[in-house]
Amino acid sequence: MRILLAGGSGFLGTRLTERLRASGHDVVRLVRRPASAADEATWQPSAGQLDPALLVAADAVINLAGAGVGDKRWTAGYKSLIRSSRVDSAGTIAHGIRKLPAGDRPQVLLQSSAVGWYGDTGDREVTEEAPAGTGFLSDVCRVWEAAARPAEDAGVRVALLRTGLPLDAEGGLLKPQMPLFRLGGGAKLGGGGQWVPWIALSDWLGATEFLLARDDLSGPVNLVGPEPVTNATFTKVLGKVLRRPALLQVPGFALHVALGEFAGEALRSQRVLPGVLTRAGFPFRHPTLEPALREAVGQEVPAAA
């Protein structure tokens, strides 16, 4: 399959490119700078510019593009960038697909989204049928997903990847925590009762490839593990895996001082379940947290885990 991939230089995009190529797919990465390799092509999503020939040549398009949510403090300007980088990329691809003759369109668009759609769910379990929540990230997810709708209206299968928190020591949720935990400074956030929608990186990659092949799956798909845990449990298990104490607590007010508005997102509870993947029979490699964390930090995972 020839795949056009946006956002291929990020944490998930880099690993997905490796996975897809290992599976025999031909991946062309969209970049905003001048292309410098045979597997790159230039686009300018902020200006709505994408060569239609790239879409015609593609069997599938995967869009992971967007500014990192936790990369910088949430100033008004950075919040605007979080939103525009997602809407511009999704809209450029979707409108480009819609403009093509029916026979020239890709078969499928896998459009990145996030469990931020659901807002704070407290202790309530939610699947893909749940409505959008409230808050900045929920609002971003609404317009982000809506930007991909022109491709769906054109008859292309669109799957919305509502991604949780992939586990890997080199990126995502774990990267900023690892140095503290290794020094014995692991701590639960706030009261620790908030639910964490984690997913093993290998399962995120596997589920994305699974969705490429499943012609019967479209719409929102939660890319999370089947057994979410509370922040307190996550902290305890990570401490166990690293053989370090994790007895501290970061008060909510301290997070607000350190992170500003983003602290509210760090403290929210999201008990999100992978309803679509479970019903479709996706074989999770690591359905429970401890083996997923052991894989993430490079430890051998026992066969029985």
Alpha-carbon dihedral sign for residues 151, 156, 162, 163: negative
Give the chain's domain count: 1
pLDDT of residue 65: 97
Q: Give me the pLDDT at residue 262, please.
A: 45
User: Under 8 Å CB-to-CB from 281, ≥6 apart: which residues?
Assistant: none
Determine the structural domain holding residue 47 and report its residue range: 2-296
242 lies in some domain: yes
Q: What is the pLDDT of residue 248?
A: 58
> Residue 303: inside a domain, yes or no?
no
Residue 201 falls inside a structural domain: yes
Q: Is residue 108 part of a domain?
A: yes
Question: Do residues 55 and 3 lie in contact, with contact meaning Cβ atoms separated by under 8 Å?
Answer: no
Domain CATH number, residue 261: 3.40.50.720
pLDDT of residue 246: 66
Domain-located, residue 271: yes
Q: Do the domain assignments include residue 301?
A: no
* 147 in any annotated domain: yes
Measured over the CA atoms of residue 223, residue 157, residue 21 and residue 9, the dihedral's sign is negative
pLDDT in tens, the chain (305 residues): 999 999 999 999 999 999 999 999 999 999 999 999 999 999 999 999 999 999 999 999 999 999 988 777 889 999 999 999 999 999 999 999 999 999 999 999 999 999 999 999 999 999 999 999 999 999 999 999 999 999 999 999 999 999 999 999 888 777 777 777 777 767 677 778 999 999 999 999 999 999 999 999 999 999 999 999 999 998 899 889 988 876 555 544 434 434 444 445 667 899 999 999 999 999 999 999 999 999 999 988 876 54
Pairwise CA distance, residues 289 & 305, whole Å = 10
In a domain, 17, yes or no: yes
pTM of the model: 0.92
Q: Transcribe 256-271 into DSSP letters.
A: HHHHTTHHHHHT----
Token pair, residue 158, equals 């669109």
CA distance 207 to 285: 10
- The confidence score (pLDDT) of residue 170 equals 86
Backbone angles phi, psi at 12, to 5 degrees: -75, -40
> Given this model, what pLDDT does residue 14 score?
96
> What pLDDT sits at residue 176?
75
